[in-house]
Chain A
């Protein structure tokens, strides 16, 4: 068997506003557009990967929140209606997605061997979270690649950012090992925003871009600091500053996705490509790609 490979790592946020603004046939509400900077960013990400061959997408979503370890979608197909419990006016999406159960099981088993608490989710009635679906749609609207979907273990809520990060770095390490051993080419995605302080009101027209901005200057400064590290290959500094960033920017990195992603990429020292940045209901969102394929990522 040929050796597995991570061809790209992506930070690909999931606010449902992006799907809403795209008006895909799967989503019931109709928008007049909005959040174009981020949607164009997703376009650039898709274009960047258009010529890249890969077999599966491994995605960690902060909106499948589990408190008893890390869970994995463990059935080959999930088809249902996803209604966002927070923004149901924007997101009522009919999804039909495939799971790479084999790769899922391999990651699950390695995580279990490493001592992490893990569980396969094999209930066919389970509804996939809107974070997975939003990022899944924006990254690959054709839905023609199977997914591995990993829950967000809320260890930060139980312990601290430091403990969360330790666990996510370990999960990232075993994810990477499983992918490299699988013989498959994979894109790994963390589906989270950066600063995550929302507005608590919504404009009458949700896509009214005259109302959209970051919630505070402090949030902007933190987002720009992180983006600078993304763009200059300083992933280790991101991990080092994760506790302060997560606490002070109320960042969605609290779900562990960003730490996990950087760990799967072996903490890259090469620059990430910033495809877009924008705010959504006040939160900061960056679309970033680490083009692993250009940096001689090989199996061990």
Chain B
């Protein structure tokens, strides 16, 4: 099976007006027309899966994923119940839902599937699926918006989803059901009087749409917190669907964007936007936040002795004291010398040595594994528990993490991953892991072009499956 991929993304509004009352206001009608145009584009594409992230389905215990193959009910909006009822019957890809849930757990996320009769599908998901997939021809999956999730958790949620998309060969479309500005009028208004709640909200919305129209999705993601403070009421934390959608698009800033409509919905900003993965030629990837592969944040909060560490919402770099996996040797501070290069952003050594050493024009790195700095967590999971019992693990996640750690050390030295010249890789299970390791290599260091030697060994000091020994060009000292 060929690798799956994301073949498009859409941003769509959540209010029921586009389903129940498009004729009552010209703007609502234009949004409905844009919805219909988006539906036609999806129908004409090769899409075989719709993935919806909805801001109107908040969750607390991690993320939830609809896994009922045919949820049916009648939805009535909490505010706009006088517009009428929306009966629904959807075609959900329960296998994908379960696979995504499992993929989340492999990447350290808490999530669960939901398949209960009568479960209330939220208004945003109902509106999006009714209008984008009116004949239920394409199976869908819906995920909640976790009220406590930070960017790290939301990004990893997207990566876990894309793991499944790729593994199952799907041609997927990602959809965020959301408002731009979400400040509504706090009193009932006549449909003809609808407009964006304030000039300030309108100006922000147009700026967001300008960026999206240029395909600069990651820029919008990085502005998320600012946008939230400026034009959002506090019912959800941050403008996080842009984090998820950017994660689904590999944090790209050069998509081909098109705004199909932008109108007011009881004062809130509603837009239909299409983001095509075709490179627009404008802008590069400018991902300047921590690129987290494995979520090692707020876990084990039921254990009171760990309460101190849960107070901070944390990505892998933000929990300097908690050690998630303790089944390994003691950690050391990296040794210091005139030529040593040590990074706070790299995992601590398991002996008395530096992260790297500069000799002439070359950098020699100590063996680099996938452990995460600060938490000592192992993306993809450890290969055995404290008693030595073998555990399932994800070699791809571990390999990605190794390469990220190498990159951090090289950046500390003033260089980058592009400086790598020669790599010696060590695998503890060549038969099991070579293929996955090799795939990640091809996507990453394989693009850089260093020489490589891969060896099978019996064990490594910590419960990891892969380690790399690197020689790189040393950046010129100023």
Contact = CB atoms under 8 A, between A and B. Distances in A.
B234 interface: yes
B116, B266, B307 interface centre (most CB from chain A within 10 Å): B116
B190 interface: no
Interface stretch (B4-12, B55-63, B214-222, B415-423): B55-63
A52 interface: no
Interface in B46-77: 57-62, 74, 76
A263 interface: no
A65 B59 contact: no
Given A123-B84, A201-B300, A69 B186 contact: yes
Given A199-B302, A201-B61, A126 B119 contact: no
A198 B183 contact: no
A13 B148 CA distance: 22
Interface in A58-74: 64-69, 71
A279 to B, nearest CB: 12
Contacts of B299: 201
B235 A68 contact: no
Contacts of B304: 213
A117 B186 contact: yes
A216 interface: yes
Contact of A154 (B81, B185, B233, B300): B233
Given A68-B185, A117-B187, A200-B301, A86 B81 contact: no
A81, A125, A200 interface centre (most CB from chain B within 10 Å): A200
B118 interface: yes
A85 B60 contact: no
A89 B113 CA distance: 10
A211 B300 CA distance: 11
B188 A85 contact: no
A46 interface: no
Nearest to A167: B186
A201 B302 contact: yes
Contact of B266 (A68, A199, A201): A68
A211 B59 CA distance: 20
B141 to A, nearest CB: 17
Nearest to B298: A200
A86 B82 contact: no
Interface of A: 64-69, 71, 81, 83, 85-89, 92, 117, 119, 121-123, 125-127, 129, 151, 153-158, 198-203, 211, 213, 215-216, 281-282
22 contacts: A66-B79, A67-B235, A68-B185, A68-B187, A69-B186, A71-B78, A83-B118, A83-B120, A85-B57, A86-B59, A88-B116, A92-B117, A122-B82, A123-B76, A129-B78, A155-B186, A198-B61, A200-B298, A202-B61, A211-B302, A213-B304, A216-B307
Interface of B: 57-62, 74, 76, 78-82, 84-85, 110, 112, 114, 116-120, 122, 146, 148, 183-188, 233-235, 266, 298-302, 304, 307, 311
